[in-house]
Structure 1
Amino acid sequence: MSREHWEKQASNWAAWARTPDFDAYWKYSPAFFELVPPPRGRTLEVGCGEGRVTRDLAKRGHRVVGVDATADLIRLARDADPANTYLRCDAAALPFADGSFDLAVFYNSLMADAGRFESSDANARFLVEGNYLGPRRWLQLPTVDRDGLSMDFSGWAYPMEAYFRALEGAGFMVQALREPAADDDQRWHRLPLFLMWRAVKIA
């Protein structure tokens, strides 16, 4: 979804994301956190949104900094969690020196719109360009209405190979991979909605 979408939907999204069992995060987060290494040093969450993953990482002992490009989402994250650090910045221009973090976490941040993670710096520490990831298609799901709240879900769907070519090109090795499947919706039995992995930089 575009940055403009999140700027318009920030408060609505925070209400949706924080209501138990509304969002898929409540169901899939255990599989996600199985892949997260134990706390060591500092952790960066890229695309932190309203801060739920950052908060849950902190509960598990991580020292976390959350970053997002949407000002209203950063404001909502800070309001809910003044103990952690939240910064507004684009993932293509992170204001940190090399080696500032021991772990980078992305939850639902790599299906971004074209331009969200692009950089003209060939030596950028974080570089995921649309054409670098190869062919893609726009995935638009029906609007979901629940207890007075409505949410639109959409994003870029990349072939699995594209993600791993990007990791390979950046010098990462995949240690583990998960594709948690829905058990309550037949549409997603053959095509899981979530692809999760843990990768480490090869020395």
Structure 2
Amino acid sequence: MELLPPPPCQVLDVGAGEGRLTRAMTARGYSVFPVERSLGMLRALQVEDGNRAALNGDACALPIRPGSVDCVVSLMVLMSIADAMSAVREAARVLRDGGLAVFAVLHPLVTCGRMGDDGDLRVSDYGNCSLPAPRRVQRRVPLTYEHFHRPIGTYLSWSIDAGLTLEAVVEPLPGAEQVAAHPRFRRWAGVPNMLLWTARRRVSSP
């Protein structure tokens, strides 16, 4: 939330899932338009939120006019898309001049490593793109997903090539209060679990 522009503004929540981020942004005064490819997730979002603005669409082919939104948010989505470069380009396409894209993925150290119970991260083949086996998660809506591994530089280069200017790169670590409240965060106290970055669409020349 600290990386978002101040409300009110229009935000496209790409890969909205069950709507957790959509609800949080709406509660803070943003005008949010969630986009989700999975019909099961989309139905769950619409039933829970009564949100009729939710759109069925693919991150690589957004059903949005060029230059029509102030901000695009993609939370924990790009690392599960085979053609994530196209998804970054689509985010840039739908932004107004000067609009902001906020991306968050599992940290590349995580997608190419394995965290032991002792808190030591074992990393291999950081520089090579790879696809681990699909994983299934049982939440309110069962979810099967894949995680592609890409180095940090790959994500940032895609953003620059899409016509965006990087503004912030963040590798957050949980603080002492968070670890105390959620002991499972202890293993991530010294290794970032997420990578976040913001990039702004360059203003077109007159």
Q: TM-score range by the shorter chain?
A: 0.5 to 0.7
Q: How many residues align?
A: 160
Q: Which residue of 2 aligns with 1:131?
A: none
1:179 to 165, 168, 171: 171
Task: Give the Cα separation in 2 of the matches to 1:145 and 1:169.
Answer: 37
- Secondary structure of 1:39 counterpart: coil
Instruction: Give TM-score, length-normalised by structure 2.
Output: 0.64
Q: Which residue of 2 aligns with 1:159?
A: 151
Residues 171 and 34 (structure 1), Cα distance of their counterparts in 2 relative to 1, 3 Å cut: same
Task: Give the Cα separation in 2 of the matches to 1:143 and 1:95.
Answer: 28
Task: Give the Cα separation in 1 of the matches to 2:23 and 2:137.
Answer: 25
Shift of 1:162: 0.4
Shift of 1:187: 5.1
Residues 181 and 157 (structure 1), Cα distance of their counterparts in 2 relative to 1, 3 Å cut: farther
CA contact (8 A) 1:90 1:117 kept: no
1:138 to 122, 125, 131: 131
1:94 to 58, 62, 69: 62
Displaced runs of 4+ in structure 1, greater than 2 A?
A: 115-119, 137-146, 149-154, 181-191
Task: Give the Cα separation in 1 of the matches to 2:66 and 2:142.
Answer: 40
Task: Give the Cα separation in 1 of the matches to 2:42 and 2:143.
Answer: 19
Q: Which residue of 2 aligns with 1:104?
A: 72
Quick one: which amino acid aligns to residue 165 of structure 2?
A: M
- Single out whichever of 88-97 and 136-145 deviates more from structure 2: 136-145
Shift of 1:104: 0.4
Residues 84 and 75 (structure 1), Cα distance of their counterparts in 2 relative to 1, 3 Å cut: same
Task: Give the Cα separation in 2 of the matches to 1:200 and 1:114.
Answer: 24
Render the CA deviation track for 1:143-201: whole Å, top value 9, x for unaligned: 8899xx99877511210000110011012122222211255556545542200112111
Q: Which residue of 2 aligns with 1:197?
A: 197
1:41 to 9, 14, 25: 9
Which consecutive unaligned segments of at least 5 residues does structure 2 have? 95-126
Name the one with the larger strand percent: 2
Quick one: which amino acid aligns to residue 53 of structure 2?
A: T
Task: Give the Cα separation in 2 of the matches to 1:150 and 1:73.
Answer: 9
CA contact (8 A) 2:134 2:147 kept: no
Instruction: Give TM-score, length-normalised by structure 1.
Output: 0.65
